[in-house]
């Protein structure tokens, strides 16, 4: 692919994962429009003036499912026992304390934490739209704009998946703590979200919170908006068996079947979790090329269960990964967990290669967020990449040619050494270049939400 723009900078990658293998000594040119213009292999030493990245460089990681404010729950919701539903009650309390200013401050810190973990693009599943009680702000998109600004200041890309959340469950009116999520109708949701505009670092997508939160007769309105704007469309799908049972009682259909009936499924749609599916559900998702975003660290934290990821992928559903509730923010752990969960479930090993797991964490994740031009180290792609140390206590020892296996099965977010977005160094030698002292910033912003 021919790339426009002038070469602005050259990076020398000690080792680079090129999708199928690890290549030593790669020179990568970045243009002034933030794209890769050329890769040159066989560069045994850094070219004059090149910026040196030692370790294994991979495409930037894509966090395809995030609720930024859930980061404030980390640790607290691990006290004692409970269920998804008791966890949800605590989450509502945190949501009630958010304002545009406090959400900006928290999200900026959370997105900076993501950059430190090698994430260059986040899919923010955003449903806290209005003031407590459901009264719109003077700018009805004040909360969404806060998230877009937070991503810009943290130096990462964002796909804002603005979420329709209209009901407390299969036609029931929102409960008091859900009023700030609701636009009352899907038409009103569409009118509001249409005022949000994409920008260089940000795309605007859509989401259906769940089949329990959007009445069946209004699902098609959200799907039509996404189709008209050629936007990604995400939906929480069959995360809990209780949701499946309630959907069967209300409609005589599984949630997947209900979405299919109303035109929601398709190649721009991603089902998040897809945990408790029938054989027919899996066939429907695969035949429509509807994606699946697995969030293993949240799914195990909430005791949701292990989704049928192998069967979904074999049926034709592309896999991506997300950190969801941010019990941890570590896409390498999400990739590892998807394989290891499957091993526990099946009692067999090797369902995905390290290359396949990295592809889910990179190219397929970016595609699910509407950026098929990201997630690859190749000419024409966005110059978004991250470097994982191969000399830490976790990663030292294996041969460099096994760098993909080392990254997926041994490394953690703590091993991320550099993150580059659009050719710009956002994380250098493990330190964020735009947000000073990310841990203290997280502590301060989270403490403020406790009141």
Which residues are known to be catalytic? Answer: 273, 324
Query: From the CB of residue 284, how many other CB atoms can be counted at a distance below 10 Å?
Result: 20
Query: From the CB of residue 275, how many other CB atoms can be counted at a distance below 10 Å?
Result: 23
The backbone region for 398, taken as left when phi is positive above 0, alpha when psi lies in -120 to 50, beta otherwise, is beta
**Cβ pair 330, 413 in contact under 8 A:** yes
Alpha-carbon span 165 to 352, nearest angstrom: 35
**Cβ pair 234, 205 in contact under 8 A:** yes
**Sheet architecture: strand order including 291-294:** 61-66, 119-126, 157-164, 202-208, 233-237, 269-273, 291-294, 319-321
Alpha-carbon span 205 to 192, nearest angstrom: 13
**Residues contacting 117, CB < 8 A, separation 6+:** 61, 329, 330, 331, 413, 416
């Amino acid at each position: 692919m021919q790339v426009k723009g002038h070469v602005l900078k050259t990076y020398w990658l000690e080792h680079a994962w090129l999708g199928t293998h690890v290549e030593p000594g790669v020179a990568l040119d970045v243009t002034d429009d933030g794209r890769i213009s050329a890769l040159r292999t066989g560069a045994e030493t850094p070219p004059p003036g090149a910026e040196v990245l030692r370790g294994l460089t991979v495409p930037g990681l894509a966090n395809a499912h995030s609720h930024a404010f859930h980061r404030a729950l980390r640790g607290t919701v691990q006290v004692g026992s409970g269920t998804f539903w008791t966890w949800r009650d605590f989450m509502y309390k945190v949501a009630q304390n958010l304002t545009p200013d406090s959400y900006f401050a928290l999200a900026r810190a959370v997105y900076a934490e993501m950059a430190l973990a090698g994430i260059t693009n986040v899919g923010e599943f955003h449903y806290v739209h209005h003031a407590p009680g459901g009264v719109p702000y003077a700018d009805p998109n004040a909360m969404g704009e806060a998230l877009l600004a937070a991503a810009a200041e943290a130096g990462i890309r964002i796909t804002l998946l603005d979420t329709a959340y209209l009901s407390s469950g299969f036609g029931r009116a929102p409960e008091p703590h859900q009023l700030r999520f609701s636009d009352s109708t899907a038409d009103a949701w569409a009118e509001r979200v249409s005022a949000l505009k994409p920008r260089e670092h940000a795309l605007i997508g859509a989401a259906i919170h769940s089949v329990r939160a959007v009445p069946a007769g209004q699902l098609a309105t959200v799907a039509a908006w996404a189709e008209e704007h050629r936007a990604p469309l995400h939906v929480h799908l069959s995360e809990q068996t209780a949701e499946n049972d309630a959907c069967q009682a209300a409609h005589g259909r599984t949630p997947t079947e209900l979405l299919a009936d109303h035109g929601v499924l398709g190649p721009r749609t991603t089902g998040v979790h897809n945990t408790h599916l029938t054989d027919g559900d899996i066939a429907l998702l695969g035949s429509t090329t509807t994606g699946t975003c697995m969030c293993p660290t949240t799914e195990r934290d909430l005791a949701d269960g292990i989704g049928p990821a192998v069967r979904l992928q074999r049926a034709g559903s592309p896999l991506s990964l997300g950190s969801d509730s941010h019990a941890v923010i570590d896409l390498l752990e999400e990739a590892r967990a998807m394989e290891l969960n499957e091993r526990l479930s099946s009692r067999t090993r090797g369902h995905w290669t390290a290359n396949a797991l990295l592809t889910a964490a990179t190219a397929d994740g970016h595609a699910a967020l509407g950026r098929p031009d990201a997630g690859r180290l190749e000419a024409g792609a966005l110059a978004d990449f991250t470097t994982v140390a191969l000399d830490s206590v976790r990663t030292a020892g294996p041969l460099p040619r096994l760098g993909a296996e080392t990254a997926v099965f041994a490394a953690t977010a703590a091993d991320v050494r550099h993150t580059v977005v659009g050719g710009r160094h956002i994380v250098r030698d493990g330190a964020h270049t735009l947000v000073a002292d990310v841990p203290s910033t997280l502590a301060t912003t989270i403490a403020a939400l406790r009141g």
